Amino acid sequence: MTEDSSADLHFSGALERLGECDANVAIAKAKEKLDNLDSVALNIAVTGETGAGKSAFINAFRGLNDDDDNSAPTGITETTKQVTMYTHPSKPNVRLWDLPGTGMPNFKANRFLKEMKFETCDLFIIISSERFKENDVFLAKEIEKKQKRFYFVRTKIDNDIRSVAKTKNFDEQKVLCTIREDCHRNVKEWVCEYKILS
């Protein structure tokens, strides 16, 4: 089979899935379906320990700097004390929920679970800035119990690289690989089997 005939089969299969044989009608239907996605709300909860970079992640996701207007407040002390919703500037149907951090002395698991927006949110992003911790396991297991999806995002890797950069035989790729494998092993061991996105 030639590359062209393979592409034709793929295209005709896509047309069949749209229920059309005419390419122009199929394109119009596909565009309509894509346009409809703009009206579907997507609620994403961002959670993790205090100081892990949740608010900075939300700002980056929204294409904002930490000191821009309407950015999520960031700082060297706890800044998110209550659940706060932020919309994406160009996709207002995408809402990010900044949840208060876990790991502080005033952290109460039962109260936090009530605030987590399980019913409202479609998926959760667990932000962690260091080694996999007990609170990461706690969050992931609670999210799994509610049959929701989560992504585990490891932040501040530049700090880890900087701390070992002056050692003999430093290899940045090796450090990154070690961090990735540690995250994968811990999520697999303590929570569930999942696919790593790098």
pLDDT at 76 > cutoff 80:
no
Q: Does any domain span residue 171? A: no
* 80 domain residue, yes or no: yes
For 155-172, how does the pLDDT look when each residue is reduced to its tens digit (9 = 90+)? 888 888 888 888 888 888
Mean pLDDT across the stretch 74-97?
A: 78
> Do 13 and 61 reside in the same domain of the chain?
no
Tell me the per-residue pLDDT of 1-14, one tens digit each, with 9 for 90 and over: 444 444 444 444 44
Average pLDDT of span 52-72: 84
> Is 184 inside a domain boundary?
no
**Is there a single domain that holds both residue 73 and residue 112?**
yes
Is residue 105 predicted with pLDDT exceeding 70? no
pLDDT, position 138: 81
Tell whether 57 and 7 lie within a shared domain: no
The CATH number assigned to the domain holding 133 equals: 3.40.50.300
Concatenated DSSP letters of the chain: --HHHHHHHHHHHHHHHTT-SSHHHHHHHHHHHHHHHTTS-EEEEEEEBTTSSHHHHHHHHTT--TTSTTPPP--SS----S-EEEE-SS-TTEEEEEPPPBSSTT--HHHHHHHT-TTT-SEEEEEESSS--HHHHHHHHHHHHTT-EEEEEE--HHHHHHHHTTSTT--HHHHHHHHHHHHHHHHHHHT-------
pLDDT tens column, 132-152: 777 788 888 888 888 888 888
| Residue ranges making up the domain that contains 102 | 40-154
Q: Are 27 and 70 part of one and the same domain?
A: no
Q: What average pLDDT does the chain have?
A: 74
Same domain, 113 and 23: no
**Tally of domains within the chain:** 2
Maximum mean pLDDT: which of 7-16, 46-55, 65-74, 187-196: 46-55
